Amino acid sequence: MKRLKFLNHHPSLKWKLYHLYRFFYDSVNYFGKNSSELSPEGLLFIGSGDFRKVGEEFFSHFQNLCNLNPTDKILDIGCGQGRMAVPLTKFLESSGAYEGFDIFQSGIEWCKKNISTRYSNFNFQLVNIYNKEYNPNGKIQPSDFKFPYESNYFDFIFATSVFTHMLPEDLDNYFAEINRVLKNNGKCLLTFLLLNSQSQNSIKLKKSKIEFEYLDENYYLMYRDVPEHTIAYKEKFIKEIYEKHGLIIEEPIRYGSWSGRENFLSFQDLIISIKPV
């Protein structure tokens, strides 16, 4: 696997190989596999960890930390291959609604084909936004993108492992959009790799599970030539964005295990916030 690491510097080539791999994988699996299972196999690039287990883990965070309601209107920013949507299919009632959007074509295609056909209140949209890692040919800049939803519509918004792949000016726009489409008193759960004294020290001592090769004032990059591959942000910088966009952080921040912490809730750091009335 180490030998394949060079591909992280060549996202376009990585995607070509990925689609070739999927073509052969899907052809081999077309016969004999139970295609009714809501569990895409052979999927790459949504991060490490078991697809089902991570989905179930976050479903419990949504319920326990964000008081999710079966009739809620939910937005999943960067929904990927439906990892978080799958457990929600068993929870949301028909009066509730799930919306997910992403820039990753095969993920959205899978979700439409396997989830929306069975659960009509689950809707997925593909948007052609540029991201050097996930969509190098995208035409829309993430800093210009307007979420395709009306204002004050959602009760709950989440983005898991998405802002770890977006640059500062893009984050700024996405926070403005979150604030616009979230209802008053609505909750938001976002994950980050937060840089603070503990995590920065761990990185220095090589105790962190992620290494970074470029250190900017407000963020660290795993690969300088493909910034969107993995981005960690200074905690102070992230807190300022929340403040700027009128979202109140509900303490405590739930720090993750990525930086080598012994007490953690998840892998990445979780921030829950509320839009005040």
Ligand X SMILES: C[S@@+](CC[C@H](N)C(=O)[O-])C[C@H]1O[C@@H](n2cnc3c(N)ncnc32)[C@H](O)[C@@H]1O
State the residues that interact with ligand X by CB under 6 A.
Answer: 46-47, 77-80, 83-84, 102-104, 107, 129, 131, 134, 142, 160-162, 165-166
- Cβ closest to ligand X, residue 50 vs residue 93: 50
CB of 95 to ligand X, least distance (A): 25
Residue 76, both tokens: 């999943």
- Cβ closest to ligand X, residue 60 vs residue 95: 60
Question: d(Cα 216, Cα 212) in Å, to the nearest integer?
Answer: 11
Inter-axis angle of helices 235-244 and 168-181, nearest 10: 40
Gyration radius of the chain's alpha carbons: 18
Cα angle 231-47-58, degrees, rounded to a multiple of 5: 100
CB of 195 to ligand X, least distance (A): 19
- Cβ closest to ligand X, residue 104 vs residue 192: 104
- Cβ closest to ligand X, residue 165 vs residue 234: 165
Query: Closest-CB residue for ligand X?
Result: 80
- Cβ closest to ligand X, residue 97 vs residue 231: 231
CB of 32 to ligand X, least distance (A): 27
- Cβ closest to ligand X, residue 259 vs residue 268: 268
Question: H or E segment at 186?
Answer: strand 182-192
- Cβ closest to ligand X, residue 56 vs residue 198: 56
Residues 6+ apart with CB under 8 A from 4: none
Cα 187 to its chain centre, rounded Å, is 16
CB of 41 to ligand X, least distance (A): 15
What amino acid occupies position 267?
A: F
CB of 129 to ligand X, least distance (A): 5
CB of 126 to ligand X, least distance (A): 10
Residues 6+ apart with CB under 8 A from 17: 7
- Cβ closest to ligand X, residue 172 vs residue 198: 172
Tell me the three state secondary structure of residue 33.
coil
Q: How many CA atoms lie within 13 A of 201 on its CB side?
A: 4
- Strand order through the sheet with 154-159: 122-126, 97-102, 73-77, 154-159, 182-192, 269-274, 248-254
Cα angle 96-249-200, degrees, rounded to a multiple of 5: 120
CB of 170 to ligand X, least distance (A): 6
Question: d(Cα 205, Cα 269) in Å, to the nearest integer?
Answer: 20
CB of 263 to ligand X, least distance (A): 23
